[in-house]
Structure 1
Amino acid sequence: MGMSVIISSANPDEAEQILKLQYLGYQSEAELYGDWTIDPLTQTLDSLREELADRHVLVARLGDEVVGTVRGWVDEEGVGQIGRLVVHPRMQRHGLGRRLLAALEERLAGEGVTGYELFTGHRSLGNLRLYQRLGYRETAVREVTRKLSIVTLNKPLAASLAA
């Protein structure tokens, strides 16, 4: 008998599982850019616990295991900021990232957002394809180092409701 993946708010006692998943999930990004000092790999447990208290943090659970997560908040301009979307490598390519993102968009829409914004690295082609399929459009590219440019993508609220 198989289990279903359930998406809901993270519990504070899941902080360690989330941090371990984040560390596992961002290894491929670190390798892609040759940089193991990226924020998701250096975040502390205390910092994550603060985010759990201050932001929307959703998790995807398979039984008791956290197999996916995403975070978001509404900024001063009313834009839903989305970050740290990560799915366990063995669970990728099954629509879980799309489900997590849609659930977070819905949660933030309840706060009256005008749209959504997220970012990823320029070499993260899988991420860029996913976001573009879900209605996000590139709005800016900022060079951070010779090896890394950050691509910012936005999605108006109307596009989210239609997706």
Structure 2
Amino acid sequence: MGMSVTISAAGDSDAEQILKLQYLCYQDEAELHGDWSIQPLTQSLDALRAELAGSRVLVARLGAEVVGSVRGTAGADGTAVITGLIVHPRMRRHGLGGRLLTAIEERLAEECSAKRYRLATGRRGEGGLRLYRRCGYAPVGTEEVTRTLTLITLEKDAAPAYVTSA
């Protein structure tokens, strides 16, 4: 019998697995853009722990192994910024990225009253762009980070909360 992937809040003890997975997952992005100095590949464990302490972080687990992760923070204006969506290469194209994205959106709406979600991805990352568009995100801007790396910022409004009356 196979194991199913579960999504839950990350703990500090997950930081090392998240960092290793992040390094693995961003190899493709670095190769696409010809830039191995991107932040996910140069981030230290201490810097990641600090980031995790200030964010909502979810992990996808297959047994004890972290096979996916996503982070989010929300500002006072109700805009939530989603970062670090990663899925182990062997687990891609099975809907796990979409499940993580939906889970972090729900967490940010419930815990932070998010009204809008924003994220960014590399212009050449067609897989990520397809996922984000399929999940309702639309491009709102671009930023040239380096000569070879341009980020596309995408946004979507949070689904309205429905109030039921008794």
- The structural deviation recorded for 1:152 is 0.2
Single out whichever of 115-124 and 50-59 deviates more from structure 2: 50-59
1:136-147 to 2 correspondences below 5 Å = 136-147=137-148
Q: How big is each residue's C-alpha offset from its partner over 1:100-143, in whole Å with a ceiling of 9 and x where there is no partner?
A: 00000000001211110000011011100100000000000122
Q: Give the 3-state SS of the residue equivalent to 2:8 in structure 1.
A: strand
Single out whichever of 18-27 and 51-60 deviates more from structure 2: 51-60
Identity among equivalent positions (%) equals: 60
- The structural deviation recorded for 1:99 is 0.3
CA contact (8 A) 2:35 2:148 kept: no
1:54 is the counterpart of 2:54: yes
RMSD (Å), alpha carbons:
1.5
Q: Residues of 1 paired with 2:58 and 2:14: CA distance? A: 11
Task: State the AA in 2 paired with 1:153.
Answer: L
Q: Residues of 1 paired with 2:39 and 2:120: CA distance? A: 13
TM-score (norm 2): 0.93
- The structural deviation recorded for 1:78 is 1.5
Moved over 2 A (4+): 158-161
Q: Residues of 2 paired with 1:71 and 1:97: CA distance? A: 12
- The structural deviation recorded for 1:54 is 1.4
- The structural deviation recorded for 1:159 is 8.0
1:28-47 to 2 correspondences below 5 Å = 28-47=28-47
- The structural deviation recorded for 1:144 is 2.1
Q: How big is each residue's C-alpha offset from its partner over 1:58-91, in whole Å with a ceiling of 9 and x where there is no partner?
A: 0000000000000001023220100010000000
Who is 1:7 aligned against?
Answer: 7
Who is 1:101 aligned against?
Answer: 101
Q: How big is each residue's C-alpha offset from its partner over 1:9-64, in whole Å with a ceiling of 9 and x where there is no partner?
A: 01111111000000000000000001010010011100111122211110000000
Q: Residues of 1 paired with 2:77 and 2:47: CA distance? A: 24
CA contact (8 A) 2:55 2:73 kept: yes
Unaligned runs of 5+ in 2: none
Who is 1:63 aligned against?
Answer: 63
1:78 is the counterpart of 2:78: yes
CA contact (8 A) 1:135 1:159 kept: no
Q: Residues of 2 paired with 1:160 and 1:98: CA distance? A: 20
Q: Residues of 2 paired with 1:146 and 1:159: CA distance? A: 40
1:123-138 to 2 correspondences below 5 Å = 123-138=124-139
Number of aligned residue pairs: 161
Unaligned runs of 5+ in 1: none
